[in-house]
Amino acid sequence: MCGFAGVWVTDKTDAAGLATVATRMALAIAHRGPDDSGAWADGPVGIALGHRRLSIVDLSTAGHQPMHSASQRYVIAFNGEIYNHLKLRFDLEAEGWSDPWRGQSDTETLLAGCEAWGLEETLKRSVGMFAIALWDTQTSTLHLARDRFGEKPLYYGWAGAGAKSALVFGSELKALRAYPGFTNPVSREALALYMRFTYVPAPHSIYRDVYKLEPGCMLTLSSALADQPLAAPANALRPPVTYAGLTLRRWWALADVVQSGAQNQFANEVEAVDALERTLKEAVRVQSLADVPLGAFLSGGVDSSTIVALMQQQASQPVKTFTVGFEEAGFDESPHARAVAEHLGTEHAELFVSAAEAQAVIPQLPQMYDEPFADSSQIPTHLVCKAARQQVTVALSGDAGDELFGGYNRYFWGPRIWNRLAWLPYPARHAFGKVITTVPVGAWDRLGSMLGAVRTGEKLHKLGRAINGVRNLDDLYRNLVSEWQDPASVVKDGGSPRCAADVAIHVPPNHSDVERMMYRDSTTYLPDDILCKVDRAAMATSLETRVPFLDHRVAELAWQLPLHMKIRGNEGKWALRQVLYKYVPRELIERPKAGFGIPVGQWLRGPLRDWAESLLNEQRLQTESYFYPAPIRAKWAEHLSGQRDHTASLWAVLMFQAWLEGVD
């Protein structure tokens, strides 16, 4: 795991200090790679790459980057891991590759693949997570590429003006901000999208003229392509900026996997579960290879328990596992993780966090996440990463199990709710939603506790907001994944933004409502929230995280499972549970899904109240002029009174305000 940054200037006469600029940009993300650093520049062309290395595979200097290919044609800056790189070396040699290997790094393997097969074919043969900047000295062409699901981040955009303008790119926005002359303002459209989703969805970033390269995409920029039009990848939006010689295309698409899976569905449940176990076991095996200490996160839920069980089954010694526990009732899942760890025989470590310790992380969040990001589970995620980093350099996680195997509550409750409400006239549905949110959260929680449910009030309030104004199931889904459902009412000059989360995310035909939800979550919420959250939280501590569920072979198999092998009754992940129950007793796993949460809403009424009040001050909001103060102040008052729970909506505003304060 590493980080890189780069620049391609338009004024070639002032290229002497390019290596220094690239070094400075890379230094801004030194936390991603504390073990080594490097820079390379071609002054006459105006291109430079900077790199920070976290040594995982081949710890020697043979893995130093930026790295040249054997023929010197290509220069690469690479962030990620290619788990099958030794297999790729075997294939290269079988096909006639004869240049001697300088070391054992997967970066060198990638370069050899580019020379033998080309970049796109090399990516298609690779199993891994990555972001890549590849410079072709022969054609003066820059390629930027991102892995299939977006595990590793990659930003690109334009900074400066006139002769001093430049293409800048890198693993995090702070690297781009380190480019001299970066003055890009906040994008109001991106801010409006952020207020809806609580993250900035691709291809947008919080800055104008700066974008996220979408998962599975490749951007190519060459002066030789100046006469060609800007191309957009299928099922994604075109960046609203044109630049001579830029092409953007998709080298891998989940839509193709979904379509293929629909045509090759499993009919036999035993065969399906056996195939899933074999495929997952192989994914865990290859992702457990490292030249540094390795462990795993363990919450005691289905996803992480499955990954740890398969790790331990293939390990020669106890796997190191990590969990975080909290003082507050209803938020501490550490006993469940402990029980699973004891059954599997892992070397388990628990970090118990007080409210004060968790709150102490909040001032670090703007710097950690680079742009506004308001999934409050970012706090415990960072804390467990920090704890794990004390013992290991790599940790496997159970992320993506929900999206691939039908784990979110909205997958089985959403259609049922809609089927029961669809017959009601629109005004009646609207009124029903209002009634649900009128009952205080605490009252719902007390009722839920008598029925064995946790955090009932928060969930019902979200449901009540979601059914307001819905006319079909797609509306319901959109509301379920939205916080500020009318961003234009709160963001000044936010317009009516469009993004991949709004348009062009259409599942191939003949798929159910639930499968449409799963597809949309996999292409939006997963990369832009879940994977972003884990990457930044982990890399802030120089910890590499790996996600076995996102081995593309696992995803392909998941989409071959009929929906009834994922969701049965009110429970998701049926096939995955059958694999897990071969290793862990059912009774250690079965319980209501709670999520990885913390009581932020309670803290905002207590120890965080003064902090929040200063950021939500009406005069301050008016002066900064990003938000209309009235709706924010109204929600703040309702939240403080306990009448309603506006935690997520307010957290979105607070994280933007804290970010704005931190970057000013």
Same domain, 171 and 278: no
**Active-site pick, 2, 114, 385, 532:** 2
Q: What is the pLDDT of residue 244?
A: 53
pLDDT at 226: 34
> Are 268 and 383 part of one and the same domain?
yes
Domain coverage including residue 358:
260-405+516-588
Domain boundary among 155, 184, 213: 184
> What is the SS3 assignment for 54?
coil
Other CB atoms within 10 Å distance of the CB of residue 556: 17
Q: State the maximum Cα–Cα separation within the chain, in Å, rounded to a whole number.
A: 73
Q: What is the mean pLDDT of the chain?
A: 87
Residues 270, 395 share a domain: yes
Q: Is 2 among the catalytic positions?
A: yes
636 occurs within a structural domain: no
Q: What is the CATH number of the domain that holds 353?
A: 3.40.50.620
pLDDT > 90 in the chain, percent: 64
Decide the pairing of beta strands 2-9 and 47-53: antiparallel
Average pLDDT in the 534-542 region? 94
User: For residue 475, is it within any domain?
Assistant: no
**Is 21 in the same domain as 129?**
yes
- Place 447 in a pLDDT band, splitting at 50, 70 and 90: confident
pLDDT digits (tens, 9 = 90+) for 358-398: 899 999 999 999 999 999 999 999 999 999 999 999 999 99
Residue 520 has pLDDT above 90, yes or no: yes
Q: Is 659 within the bounds of a domain?
A: no
Q: Which helix (H) or strand (E) holds 18?
A: helix 18-27
What pLDDT does residue 162 have? 73
Q: Is residue 333 part of a domain?
A: yes
Alpha helices in 186-268 (DSSP H): 188-197, 254-263
In a domain, 244, yes or no: no
Q: Confidence class of residue 231 from pLDDT cuts 50, 70 and 90?
A: very low
Domain finish residue from 572, 588, 604: 588
Q: Across residues 257-264, what is the average pLDDT?
A: 93
**Residue 172 within a domain:** yes
CATH number reported for the structural domain that contains residue 70 in this entry: 3.60.20.10
**What value does the mean pLDDT take over residues 187-191?**
95
- Per-residue pLDDT band for 642 (boundaries 50, 70, 90) equals confident
Annotate 450-519 with DSSP letters as a single string. HTT-SSHHHHHHHHHHHTTT--SHHHHHHHHT-SSS-GGGTBTT------TTTSS--PPSS--HHHHHHH
Are residues 151 and 275 both part of a single domain? no
- Most confident option among 252-256, 289-293, 430-434, 480-484: 252-256
Question: Among residues 538, 588, 561, 596, which one has the least CA distance to residue 302?
Answer: 588
CB 228 within 8 Å of CB 247: yes
* Domain co-membership, 272 together with 392: yes
Is the predicted pLDDT of residue 552 greater than 70, yes or no?
yes
Q: Quote the pLDDT of residue 56.
A: 60
Residue for token digits 């696992």? 554
Clarify whether residues 166 and 272 are in a common domain: no
DSSP codes of every residue in 331-369: S--HHHHHHHHHHHT-EEEEEEE-HHHHHTTGGGHHHHH
Residue 224 pLDDT > 60, yes or no? Answer: no
Do 66 and 180 belong together in one domain? yes
For the residues 200-214, what does the mean pLDDT come to? 94
Whether pLDDT at 62 is above 90: no
The domain tally of the chain equals 2
pLDDT attached to residue 223: 67
Residues 173 and 24 in one domain: yes
SS3 readout for 537-554: HHHCCCCEEECHHHCHHH
* Cis upstream peptide for 203 (omega within 30°): yes
Do 73 and 179 share a domain, yes or no? yes
| Same-domain status, 269 and 138 | no
In a domain, 109, yes or no: yes
Q: Which residue has the higher pLDDT, 176 or 599?
A: 176
**How confident is residue 268, by pLDDT bands cut at 50, 70 and 90?**
very high
User: Residue 40 corresponds to which amino acid?
Assistant: W
Residue with tokens 């118990």: 352
Residue 467 lies inside a defined structural domain of this protein: no
In this structure, the strands spanning 47-53 and 210-212 are unpaired
Of 588, 620, 637, the residue at which a domain comes to its end is 588
Copy the structure tokens of residue 365.
Answer: 């969040």
Residue 452: predicted pLDDT: 62
52 in the same domain as 167:
yes
Task: Give the pLDDT mean for 464-479.
Answer: 76
Burial label for 213, CB within 10 Å (0-12, 13-18, 19+), is buried
Q: Is the pTM of this model over 0.95?
A: no
